[in-house]
Structure 1
Amino acid sequence: MPVFVRPSHSWVRLGTLLFVFLLTSVCSWFQAEARPLACESAEACFQRAASFADEQPDQAALLVERFRHVQEVYPGTIWARRAGFRIGWALLEREPGRAIDYLRGARKDFPVLEDYVLLKLGQALGREGSFHKSALAFEAALGSSVPSVLRNETSYEAGFAWFENGHCQPAIAYLKQATSGDPDFPSAPRAWSLLADCAGRLEEVNLARHALGELWRKYPESPEAQVIGRAGQAGQPDARHWEPSLEDYYERGRTWYDSARFEAAIRDLQKFLAGQSHRPNYEQGLFQLGMAHVRLKQYPQASQVFRRLLENPSGYTGKAAVWLAKVYLRRDQGQRLLKFRDSTPPGLSADEQARIQWLSGVWAEGERAIRQAVLAYEEAYRTADLSKIKRDALWRLGWLHYQQGAWEDAVEAFDSLAVTSPGHHWQNRAHYWKARALERMGRVDEAQTVYGQVAAGWPMTYYGQLSESRLRRPRPAGRQSNENRANPAMNGPVSSAFRINTHFQKAMELSKLGLRREALEELLVVKRQYHNQPQTMYALARHMLELGDFEAPIVIAKRYFWEPLERRLISFDSPLWRMAYPTGYMPQIRRYAASHVDPFWVAGIIREESLYNPKALSSVGAMGLMQLMPRTANRIARRLGLAPMDRKDLLQGEVNVRLGVAYVRQLSRDYQGNLIRAIAAYNAGPAAVKRWIAKFGDRDPDEFVELISYRETRRYVKRVLTSYRIYKTLYSTTCSTIPLDRAC
């Protein structure tokens, strides 16, 4: 029998005092969090509140308290009025009635942002159940002649409000306008569903069927579309309104394909192709089916599809022939590839024939059938019309001679490549490998001269960095001055219209309000309007970088200022370098990288994978900042003890960085710190890298990179290595004397 001991009175008193102390401490902490800190100015006080809103977006009550503090301490100021705007914005979800009063005041205070105020006001009225007033607020916004990035969103809201108010005619008008203006808007599936509903009520049968068809074809993953499918299966009323045709399966298959849902694309395309072969889009659907199998690496099935396409001449004959040759190469079916090359179907263009010749040369080279490969590349060069294919053939010839130790022939081929290639990348590549061949021949001084030319001309490129590292004496740094002369676009006058542009003015006010995402949307419109004015683009990129957008400044820098960057014509303290090589998410990168991975290596990966776009989605399904495949991400998540990751999780910046850094760390450990192999595995997978190591593991690092058989991976490795070393040069230390395959 258990014995219970009554606690002494002293222990009870001590426990009570401890509980009171803890309760008081917690209450004091919450009061301190709610109590705004003293501010030295109205602007500083507002910015502190806005920063809190960014850090704690779900703490609506505390957020309102902080903005109200601005109003109390600095009444009558512009910052107090801005605080009122933000209070109305913050109360919208939980207390729409209170939000309405603040938003009505904001409409008077910020006429330049009337479209934003009316949109939020209409949403608040709708949440209060005043759908008629809500619809009128949206209509007032749409009736303005001032350009607005919110026009499509407001049209959706107006349609929804009129639907809730029981007025289908205006609902249909606005929803048709909305879906036409922005079919990718998140509310589009609901809009098509309500369009079908209203059209059914008004007995507009054709419109109802069209709306259901658009919903089923273009938004197959939406709950609204899945309801259609269930209704059809159950024999419910929706099934009598609309049934998918074979053409509908074709369109939905293309939607699945564009969303990188290749298994679903295959199912729908196969249903479409089960009908008669003389229908429109039959050949295109067949080719898309073959490509879906390629994306899934289902090469036997892809091969069958492409052969079917070649049975009857069509506009896809040439594409199918080239892809069938690629599939033979990827399956290592060289004999089939050679037989196909020698009996290609009629109707192929000269470039398609040359590409198949080139692919047969790649296979022969891998089999060490050197003479056969040389003949194939020479034939591809003679046959091709496009300079790109001629260039590829010349490169393979030079590279083949280099690997065989035929140095003179290699130098000759690389010289021809340099002369015939219009782009500096191919010229630098040809010059670098010419210099390497000269070194092999013992003509070291000549090689040093070529290295010096490449390093001096293009120091911030892959081959410029390689050339710099092979110079016996470091090249003096000198081409970083006279920025005004070298880059007038960065310092010239900005269009006066840019400053008074409506979208720019909205962006500036939204920025002051701390609404960074909305400000960036306005600046993206300005970017499209002034895309042919480099001076304006430069000024715009600086604003966007300040607002936390990293993708657009990179794109602007690469498009308009690639030459001064790659040739290092500007000093390293120029803002242009920060635009082109931003350090967004660096705190998160450092947190998860710790001492195990160089954070600038991760930064280079993010820049080349996604341009710092956390919502990036590739054609093969890779997601987020570090372009993680869902299967890889979930494997890493399990290893870290995290819950399974879905699409929404992987599109969150910090989550993606955490998993991506863990994967980079694993690869670095797997390859004993070999940078090249780890980067290649990140892109192509460990299985491919294992094959390349088995074949070329004893080659010099720069040769190993060129021997990577996947063109995409080869280019990717070069880009990441280049970005990594530029990041180190800008923010840490230079990498010029570090081996190519090692971190700095």
Structure 2
Amino acid sequence: MWQPLKEKIKIHWPLLALAGVSALSVGMVVALLETVGVLNLAPADSAIVESELAPEAPSAVLGLADRPPAQRTEALSLIAQQQDNQEGHRARYLLATDLLSQGRGGSALTVLDGLEQDYEALAPYVLLKRAQAQTAAGQPEAAQQTWQTLAEQYAQHPAAAEALYTLGQSDESTWEQLIANFPAHPRSVEVAAKQLPVATGAKQMALLRLLVNYGLHQSEYGTWLDQFVSEYGSLLTPEDWQAAGFGYWETQRYGKAGSAYAKAPASPLSRYRAGRGAQLDGQRKAAIAAYRQLAQAFPDAPETATGLLKLADLLPQPEAIKVLDQVMARFPNQAATALGKRADRLDALQSPTSAQQARDAVLSQYSQSEAAAELRFRQAQQQAKAGHYESALSWAQQLLKDNSTHQLAPEVGFLAGKWALQLEQPEVAQRAFERVIGQHPESYFAWRSAVYLGWDVGDFDGVRSLDPQIVLPDQRTPPPAGSDTLKELYLLGQDQDAWTQWQNEFRDRESPSVAEQFTDGLMRIGVGDTLDGIFMVSNLAWREQPQARQEYLALQADPAYWQAMYPFPYEQLIETWSRQRQLNPLLVTALIRQESRFVADIESVAGALGLMQVMPGTADWIEAQIGQTGYDLTQPADNVELGTWYLDYTHREYDNNALFAVASYNAGPGNVADWIQRGGFTDADDFVRQIPFAETQGYVEAVFGGYWNYLRLYNPAIAAKVERLAATQPNS
């Protein structure tokens, strides 16, 4: 609790620097600070003030990092005046950035005065902000000198790239230094793109090489990549082909990726992708040849096992069986998968007895394998369909015992609970539902289990009316990779500067560590690239190497991982229109996440636009209904206004049943009405499983699974219940 000051604190810079800001009472400022972290107003000579807070320690300033400037100015001012430690330094830096964003360069200069001497972690960025403030204050000569100082004193620091870029606007020779010293910096990519149209020969090739290596997320990337390969293919080094292969792979042009990887330095990954790229592009002969080259060059590599399994899919049945036998003999970790595929081939060869023997061997010899889990799931479903719930439950329980980490386990656990209810075994059902939530809290089936346990999470017919409490984290968690400077920028909410800093620190873009890939995802989300950012984070789940897998599982236990997976852009906008439409704001957030990953100007191949992917024709129809025109679907406010109107409409069409409403949002009212009329399902879960469009079935589970994740992450009551259950479950 805040206590009154016992003595006057020395003020290091005048409060007049903030002239024009409305004055809050000290009591109001303290109340704000108490909501975001620890407020320390001890005298300057106290040991507490002198200490530097660790990045993960509670911090009033870091708690303010994601607040709008208008909501944090007074609190930051108070901290900056009273604390001459890391908290005070952080407060001054944030104040300066806020003043710059308001065009108040002169005031920012006062706040920044001498800060680089105290704030070592961000000293280069203090100079960068000073130069920007001098420019804003109409001091071009002083700004030029500061840029020069930054470029000279911190010649190897990424912040110097901004100085070189600015200096290069009056002396383009400086841009050559920028490109040479900081090729990965976004400013270098910008300069290269500007210079490319007039460049020729070796200069043009060098610029294209830079753009191919570091311009992946630029809109013109595909053009640059094609030009690099088509015009300079005969001159490209194996390393160039590696970069080209990676570029084509990341942009999902797999045929060209395979061709490029075939010319890259020989490695298990490059040779595997040479084969897989050809296979995905329908080049069967090329794929077969590449997979065989992989097996010959790298006989023991894990990629070879995967390649041989893919090779078997391309060969006639007898040859495929021989390849699968090789996998079983040489790669124990893939033996079960190969044996399961062998059973399928034997079925195709009219050898059902041998096929069944192979499947029995999977269950007996490789009981904990993915192949065994898939066989058990298939058996459980068949038994349940026949009404043999006791047998179905037995198969399910064996899967949950031996394959508890398999991706099917949440669904099987939920079905086991429902089958136990059919058998009038409520205690068994309760344990099954609790296990799903405790061991697989992120799953859609955890939400379904919570519904059956009677939690206040809203079923399909009640979720619309809920208005859950939302509590966001007090402050950010530092990323697991990167320099202290990067982490400090990120913690302070300086996302654009953190992103540019990271571009120079992120070295192994093709084979990043778990920590690097997660950090890259965080940086992308920070600058609004939520589509790729969430993909980078979610894709960590596919790590298979033991060490990487363990690192991923450790990361997954950190709430910061899930907060990155389920971020909250446009929180106020979504809340405003959700309340206007009487919709659950977390359901709307989850739907937007699924539709667009929060990218405001995204367009689908069908022409749907914006956050809620509204079709222009649908927008025209909505405008006629509400009697207003002139909406721009690429503008978040307009898009969410129309999108929530339509989601409200689909709810009203189906008596506020959110299952039918969300399915209708994806597939259209006509299809959903047809599915309902057709019938044949016993309950809502049965309806979801029988949706004939795979896309819509996945969409429904993704939206409601997303809703559940937002609820369990940001609603304190549900988060506490999930945590208690997780603590009671055996290690899976």
**Which bin holds the TM-score, normalised by the shorter protein?**
0.5 to 0.7
Please state if 1:703 is matched with 2:686. Answer: yes
- 5 Å-filtered alignment, 1:51-200, equals 86=95, 90=99, 103-104=112-113, 107=116, 113-123=122-132, 128=140, 133-139=145-151, 142=154, 151-152=157-158, 154-164=159-169, 166=171, 168=173, 171-179=175-183, 183=184, 185-193=185-193
- 1:590 alignment partner, one of 575, 589, 597: 575
Aligned letter for 1:396? R
Between the two structures, name the one with larger relative contact order (CA 8 Å, sep ≥ 6): 2
Aligned letter for 1:255? G
The SS at the match of 1:39 is coil
Q: Which digits, 9 at most, give the CA deviation of each residue in 1:195-234, with x for residues without a partner?
A: 879999xxxx75662223332575378588799899x9xx
Q: Which residue does 2:39 correspond to in 1?
A: none
- 1:347 alignment partner, one of 319, 323, 341: 323
Per-residue deviation, 1:731 = 7.1
Per-residue deviation, 1:411 = 3.0
- 1:258 alignment partner, one of 202, 227, 250: 250
The SS at the match of 2:128 is helix
| Structure 2 unmatched ranges of 5 or more | 1-18, 34-60, 295-302, 329-333, 457-472, 507-517, 541-551, 624-628, 723-732
Per-residue deviation, 1:614 = 4.4
Are the equivalent residues in 1 in contact too, given 2:383–2:391 (CA < 8 A)? yes
Aligned letter for 2:151? E
Aligned letter for 1:284? R
Aligned letter for 1:245? G
Q: Which digits, 9 at most, give the CA deviation of each residue in 1:508-543, with x for residues without a partner?
A: 9x85xxx66589889999xx9xxxxxxxx9xxx9xx
Are the equivalent residues in 2 in contact too, given 1:196–1:212 (CA < 8 A)? yes
Are the equivalent residues in 1 in contact too, given 2:165–2:175 (CA < 8 A)? yes
Q: Which digits, 9 at most, give the CA deviation of each residue in 1:127-182, with x for residues without a partner?
A: 837786254232356269xxxxxx42x142233245345474x6444433322xxx
Per-residue deviation, 1:414 = 1.8
- 1:422 alignment partner, one of 400, 404, 407: 404
- 5 Å-filtered alignment, 1:452-467, equals 452-457=430-435, 461=441, 466=448
Please state if 1:399 is matched with 2:381. Answer: yes
Q: Which residue does 1:450 correspond to in 2?
A: 428
Q: Which residue does 2:11 correspond to in 1?
A: none
Q: Residues 577, 655 of structure 1: CA spacing in aligned structure 2 closer, same or farther, 3 A cutoff?
A: same
Please state if 1:288 is matched with 2:288. Answer: no
Q: Residues 399, 519 of structure 1: CA spacing in aligned structure 2 closer, same or farther, 3 A cutoff?
A: same
Q: Residues 595, 242 of structure 1: CA spacing in aligned structure 2 closer, same or farther, 3 A cutoff?
A: closer
TM-score normalised by L of structure 2: 0.54
Are the equivalent residues in 1 in contact too, given 2:192–2:207 (CA < 8 A)? yes
Please state if 1:39 is matched with 2:24. Answer: yes
Please state if 1:269 is matched with 2:275. Answer: no
Per-residue deviation, 1:635 = 5.5
Aligned letter for 1:40? S
Are the equivalent residues in 1 in contact too, given 2:603–2:613 (CA < 8 A)? no
Quick one: distance in 1 between partners of 2:129 and 2:346?
63
Per-residue deviation, 1:189 = 1.9
Q: Which digits, 9 at most, give the CA deviation of each residue in 1:578-617, with x for residues without a partner?
A: 999887755422322223422232244467789xx74699
Are the equivalent residues in 2 in contact too, given 1:287–1:309 (CA < 8 A)? yes
Q: Residues 715, 218 of structure 1: CA spacing in aligned structure 2 closer, same or farther, 3 A cutoff?
A: same
Quick one: distance in 2 between partners of 1:436 and 1:419?
18
Per-residue deviation, 1:436 = 3.5
Aligned residues: 566
The SS at the match of 2:231 is coil
The SS at the match of 1:347 is helix
Please state if 1:215 is matched with 2:224. Answer: no
Quick one: distance in 2 between partners of 1:438 and 1:193?
63
- 1:600 alignment partner, one of 586, 591, 601: 586
The SS at the match of 1:698 is coil
Q: Which digits, 9 at most, give the CA deviation of each residue in 1:30-69, with x for residues without a partner?
A: xxxx965443249949999x99997689xxxxx9xx99xx
Quick one: distance in 1 between partners of 2:312 and 2:670?
23
Q: Which residue does 2:419 correspond to in 1?
A: 437
The SS at the match of 2:24 is coil
Aligned letter for 1:288? G
Q: Residues 688, 406 of structure 1: CA spacing in aligned structure 2 closer, same or farther, 3 A cutoff?
A: farther
Q: Which digits, 9 at most, give the CA deviation of each residue in 1:57-115, with x for residues without a partner?
A: 9xxxxx9xx99xx89xx999989997898468645896878966765565568666422
- 5 Å-filtered alignment, 1:256-655, equals 258-259=250-251, 265=253, 269=256, 284=273, 287-288=276-277, 291=280, 304-306=282-284, 309-310=287-288, 313-314=291-292, 315=294, 344=320, 347-348=323-324, 349=327, 353=338, 378=359, 381=362, 387-423=369-405, 429-440=411-422, 443-444=423-424, 447-457=425-435, 461=441, 466=448, 517=495, 585-593=570-578, 594-605=580-591, 614=598, 632=614, 638=620, 639=622, 641=629, 645=633
The SS at the match of 1:114 is helix
Per-residue deviation, 1:118 = 0.6
Are the equivalent residues in 2 in contact too, given 1:411–1:434 (CA < 8 A)? yes
Quick one: distance in 1 between partners of 2:572 and 2:409?
39
Quick one: distance in 2 between partners of 1:427 and 1:88?
48
Q: Residues 590, 718 of structure 1: CA spacing in aligned structure 2 closer, same or farther, 3 A cutoff?
A: closer
Structure (1 or 2) with the larger CA radius of gyration: 1
Quick one: distance in 1 between partners of 2:291 and 2:383?
39
Are the equivalent residues in 2 in contact too, given 1:664–1:682 (CA < 8 A)? yes
Aligned letter for 2:428? V
TM-score normalised by L of structure 1: 0.53
Are the equivalent residues in 2 in contact too, given 1:355–1:389 (CA < 8 A)? yes
Per-residue deviation, 1:420 = 1.5
Q: Residues 580, 414 of structure 1: CA spacing in aligned structure 2 closer, same or farther, 3 A cutoff?
A: same
Quick one: distance in 2 between partners of 1:467 and 1:703?
15
Q: Residues 456, 103 of structure 1: CA spacing in aligned structure 2 closer, same or farther, 3 A cutoff?
A: closer
Q: Residues 586, 224 of structure 1: CA spacing in aligned structure 2 closer, same or farther, 3 A cutoff?
A: closer
Quick one: distance in 2 between partners of 1:41 and 1:324?
71
Percentage of matched positions with identical amino acids: 15
Q: Residues 516, 687 of structure 1: CA spacing in aligned structure 2 closer, same or farther, 3 A cutoff?
A: farther
Aligned letter for 2:168? F
Per-residue deviation, 1:399 = 0.8
Aligned letter for 2:24? C
Q: Which residue does 1:483 correspond to in 2?
A: none
Quick one: distance in 2 between partners of 1:243 and 1:692?
54
Q: Residues 162, 524 of structure 1: CA spacing in aligned structure 2 closer, same or farther, 3 A cutoff?
A: closer
Q: Residues 672, 416 of structure 1: CA spacing in aligned structure 2 closer, same or farther, 3 A cutoff?
A: same
